[in-house]
Amino acid sequence: MTFKNTPNKGEIDSNWGINSSNWDHPSHLALSQRHMDKMMPVRYLQPGQTIDLPRAELPLDLEALPLHDPLTGKPMAANDFLNRRLFNDACMVVHRGQVLHESYRNGMRPEDHHVQHSTTKSLIAMLVGIAIAENKVSPDIEVAEYIPELRILPAWQGVTLQHVLDMATGIEYSEDYADPNCPYFSYAQAVGYAGELSEARIGHKAWMLQHMTSRSSEPGAQFCYTSPLTNVLGMVISVAYDRDFLDVLEEKIYCRIGAEAQAWFNTDDFGVAIAEGQLSLRLRDFARWALLMINGGKNLLGEQVLPPEFIADTLTVRESSKEAFAKSADAAYFPGAQYRNQFWVLSPEQQQYAMLGIHGQTVWYDQRQELMILGYGSYPVQDDALLFAAWQQLNAAILTAVR
């Protein structure tokens, strides 16, 4: 594990003026999302022994997929669909343990890293699953028992670790990317990936203690997408193991999945990992990590890394979780879904679920078909209905093709 201070004060490319204040401008995304190590402090997760990804003899021909432009309804070639509707940087399809398709575009290459954004949340939740299986933490214990600073905040009373995992804490918060005045952007500036360098960069823990102090609903009653909550999971892991959160992540997961390169993990200005979204991986290493979910928690050598109980718990249909999700704004995009253990369980009865990150970072799973579709993207805005419609159409077309 190594730590690197950022020498260029948040700059990604001085020639183009790309920095922490404008990295997410649409014309910058294809470059900036591959160079988060230049914009913020970074720590490196070291891989263990590399394990090759198995590849199918007959690859999947994406151009044969019957795709239609969601804007016009007219047929659209797959490459155009990926470029013009998903703004895709990289794509991979894995079916029954074999890579059927892998492609790169928009300047990205196989050896490049790409920021995961909120797909990081799901990857980190796997570590919590390991901690639960090792009896280091309990999902039913109030999170304030692990983080004493929360005990003086009445809003956190009754909030368990499972409530944090499910983003159903009842803590008042808003993550509306169309509203520059919502709490999310204040948080993003506090941790260092929005705005200029300023006194507002107080780190995620101080921000949480100052801003997440009111309750809008009872714990468990309503899903509310709250990025800072994943940082709470990192804090809990550090307390439970009495070690740095990233050291535990490296030992328990990253050095065991067969990765081929270092992982990058951005931190705030105080050296604390931004667990909710600032991990950068190569696509193939993202696949190796994500594959744990459809491999019964085992790596590509058959070694148990993730407890199968975590996977089963994530995919169990829960009417209470569906009801909590139905009260959220996200229900308009994903009706009938539930959110569990930092995963979007989009079709609970069909065991179809996802990791989702802004600008088009995705994994979509069909557990029964042992199908996984990964994507990195540079979609011009954080998310919108067109992005989700195109993404869901691509997933459905690939599922039909591999059945």
Q: Which domain holds residue 31?
A: 2-402
pLDDT tens-place string over residues 52-64: 999 999 999 999 9
Yes or no: say if 90 and 375 are a contact pair by the CB < 8 Å rule.
yes
Domain of 25: which CATH number?
Answer: 3.40.710.10
Residue recorded with tokens 């809003």: 155
pLDDT tens-place string over residues 5-37: 544 468 899 999 999 889 999 999 999 999 999
Given a cut of 70, the residues of the chain with pLDDT beneath it are 1-9, 196-198
Nearest to 3 by CA among 208, 189, 228, 268: 268
Check residue 7 and give its pLDDT.
44
Check residue 195 and give its pLDDT.
73
Count structural domains, the chain: 1
Tell me the residue ranges of DSSP E strands in 274-370. 279-281, 338-340, 343-347, 352-357, 361-366
Yes or no: say if 400 and 67 are a contact pair by the CB < 8 Å rule.
no
Check residue 5 and give its pLDDT.
53
pLDDT tens-place string over residues 108-122: 999 999 999 999 999
**pTM for the complete prediction?**
0.96
Question: Which helix (H) or strand (E) element contains residue 375?
Answer: strand 371-377
